[in-house]
Amino acid sequence: MLNFTRRMLIISAGLATILTAAPAFSADKIVIGFSQASSNSAHRNTMTKRNQAYAAEHFKDVDLIVTNAEGKSAKQISDVESLMVQGMKVLMISAQDSAAIAPTIKQVLAAGIPVITLERSLDIPVTLHVGPHNKPIGTLAGKYIAEALKGKGNVVEIKGDPAVAPAVERHEGFAEAIAGTEIKVIAETHADWDQEKALKFMEDTLQRFPAGQIQAVYAHNDNMAFGALRAIQAAGRDKEGILIIGIDGENAAIRAVAKGDLTATFTYSTVAPEGVIAAHALATNDTAALEKLGTLTKKDDGSMEIEIASKMITKENAAEFFCKGFGDDPECK
């Protein structure tokens, strides 16, 4: 396998024609790289667009270069290496695969470039992590279901991508919350945040478990919760009172909670514009700007974290959150 130095030389050569043909970045501007995992969800697209828009409006001293890994860890590694060649001063990243990208992130840090992980944390220390805590969300979801079902019932769990921290932590919190109760997970899968995968799994699960045998669905995001809802409605089982819990706080999900189609969701920050604000603050050594974003914690290993709080949304408080989420909703034009 090519070592990192040789790979960087090859990337440099490959980019030479592009960089000489395209307008050069201003010498007096701060180059911030943003490596996005994919563009297959409203949450991820909103993260990208809001950070771009904020940078364009508020940071005239910044050139923000955005790459899209398209759901492929190998492409994200290549994207980050390319951003290094382009002279970035700070890297923002939302990982496609936390373990796969870690060695490359170590090389970025070793080059003296600060790294900010957005929403998806890594198992290695980085300069700064910004985002909500996922395990407490899973815990609250588990407690809510246990209380609503009076400690007894069958649950279907539809998980996200196991390669990233949110899916792992949302499951761990939920599992701990229902431990010691008579709540049982009777079917589970990793639907990778995808609505169609969740729909197909839920269709199969409804056939396996007839009417009255499923009391709740816990989906790791709203997109998969909508897949489960579609399957339940198509099967004519929406009158059974099956609880459907999602996470992310999409505008459409908030509306569905108010209507009673979904039972609950949780706000989950897109880290936008917090991401680019944090990147600019690191590039300019503006600690005060970091502290305004949320609770700033400095860890013993030298890394930092800013937690952005999440809130549970149910039918009782959904009206307070109308059009304050993200994604398409005809009521939020």
Torsion of CA 32, 133, 220, 153, to 10 degrees: 180
Name residues whose C-beta falls within 8 Å of residue 24's C-beta, 6 or more positions apart in sequence: none
How many Å apart are CA 238 and CA 229, to the nearest integer?
8
pTM for the whole thing?
0.89
Say if CB 101 and CB 95 are below 8 A apart: yes
Which string of b and e fits 95-127 if b means at least 16 CB within 10 Å? bbbbeebeebbebbbeeebbbbbbbbbbebbbb
Q: Give Cα 170 distance to the centre of its chain.
A: 12
Name the token pair of 328: 């398409």
Name residues whose C-beta falls within 8 Å of residue 13's C-beta, 6 or more positions apart in sequence: none
* pLDDT in single tens digits along all 333 residues of the chain: 444 444 544 444 444 433 433 344 456 899 999 999 999 889 999 999 999 999 999 999 999 999 999 999 999 999 999 999 999 999 999 999 999 999 999 999 999 999 999 999 999 999 999 999 999 999 999 999 999 999 999 999 999 999 999 999 999 999 999 999 999 999 999 999 999 999 999 999 999 999 999 999 999 999 999 999 999 999 999 999 999 999 999 999 999 999 999 999 999 999 999 999 999 999 999 999 999 998 899 999 999 999 999 999 999 999 999 999 999 888 887
Burial class (CB in 10 A: 0-12, 13-18, 19+), 57: exposed
Name residues whose C-beta falls within 8 Å of residue 253's C-beta, 6 or more positions apart in sequence: 222, 225, 226, 246, 262, 265, 325
Name the token pair of 246: 């999602």
Cα distances from 158 to residues 1, 149, 199, 263, in angstroms, run 37, 19, 10, 15
CA atoms within 13 A on the CB side of 125: 9
